[in-house]
């Protein structure tokens, strides 16, 4: 599952639009909170799957089977630091980290890739990551003086078990592209509609967007499917279940 969030407005007050998506389901939630209380409304129990997110700390507030942090997001952060920090120490660290990430990408994209076949290469990547994440020597002295070169290794050490999950689980992507794509249409709606004027309107919009985007993910025409569902509801007194994903021919 992928998760992401973006700012939203309800009656002029700051809220947050949360998005949770898989290949066939997308769920939106608009909440006043950007922290763990909002997430605990969605994750009412431990999540057994793998969660793909950015590094926002609130995502650590509940248990998951596994995690994958978005490495494209990490690369963007490196580029952003590059814009204002050209110290030799930072540049050397950033070069090593960037190369390590791209080596992981290239390994995963090999046509014959499997965790078993490339177990040795994966262990080597893990060792390189551990070395980069070691910001303090055995005697307690810090390896870096540059603030950015010190900050990122600390984060790598904190999350290093979940940076290359995609090499152990080939069905897990190394980016959060799915959630970002699902957020994008909502951002366009926000720009055009200036968000919502009431809590009820926000709740209704979240439901409608969830149904619409889920139908799109499943390969259905959302408008036609919703109209047909309304007809069925009028006749049967209850809405039909969501249709299954369309299976492509061949």
Sequence ranges of the domains in the chain: 2-66+176-217, 71-168
| C-beta of residue 72 within 8 angstroms of C-beta of residue 174 | yes
Buried/exposed 116-145: b ≥16 CB within 10 Å, e otherwise: eebeebbeebbebbeebbebeeeeeeeebe
Q: Give pLDDT tens digits for 117-128.
A: 999 999 999 999
Torsion, Cα 182 184 185 187, to 10 degrees, reads 130
Contacts of residue 77, defined as CB under 8 A and 6 or more positions apart, other chains included, come to 152
The two three-digit tokens of residue 181, written as one number:
């794509």
The whole-angstrom separation of Cα 111 and Cα 10 is 48
The whole-angstrom separation of Cα 16 and Cα 10 is 9
The whole-angstrom separation of Cα 239 and Cα 232 is 6
pLDDT cut 90: percent of the chain above it? 90
The two three-digit tokens of residue 228, written as one number:
């047909």
The whole-angstrom separation of Cα 237 and Cα 132 is 61
Q: Give pLDDT tens digits for 23-42.
A: 999 999 999 999 999 999 99
Phi-psi region for residue 146, left (φ > 0), alpha (ψ -120 to 50) or beta? beta
Q: Give pLDDT tens digits for 152-194.
A: 999 999 999 999 999 999 999 999 999 999 999 999 999 898 8
């Amino acid at each position: 599952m992928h998760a992401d969030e973006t700012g939203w407005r309800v009656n002029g007050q700051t809220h947050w639009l949360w998005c949770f998506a898989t290949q066939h389901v997308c769920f939106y939630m608009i909440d006043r909170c950007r922290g763990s209380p909002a997430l605990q409304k969605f994750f009412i129990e431990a999540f057994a799957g793998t969660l793909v997110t950015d590094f926002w700390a609130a995502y650590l507030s509940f248990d998951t089977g596994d995690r994958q942090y978005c490495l494209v997001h990490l690369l963007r952060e490196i580029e952003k630091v590059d814009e204002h920090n050209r110290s030799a120490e930072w540049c050397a660290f950033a070069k090593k980290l960037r190369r390590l990430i791209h080596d992981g990408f290239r390994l995963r994209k090999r046509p014959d890739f499997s965790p078993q076949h490339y177990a040795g290469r994966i262990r080597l990547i893990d060792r390189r990551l551990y070395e980069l994440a070691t910001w303090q020597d055995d005697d307690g002295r810090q390896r870096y003086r540059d603030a950015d070169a010190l900050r990122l290794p600390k984060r790598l050490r904190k999350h290093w078990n979940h940076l290359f999950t995609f090499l152990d689980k080939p069905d897990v992507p190394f980016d959060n592209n799915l959630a970002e794509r699902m957020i994008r249409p909502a951002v366009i709606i926000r720009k055009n509609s200036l968000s919502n004027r009431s809590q009820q309107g926000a709740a209704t919009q979240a439901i409608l967007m969830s149904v619409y985007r889920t139908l799109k993910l499943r390969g259905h025409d959302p408008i036609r499917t919703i109209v047909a569902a309304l007809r069925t509801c009028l006749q049967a007194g209850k809405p039909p279940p969501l249709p299954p994903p369309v299976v492509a021919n061949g």
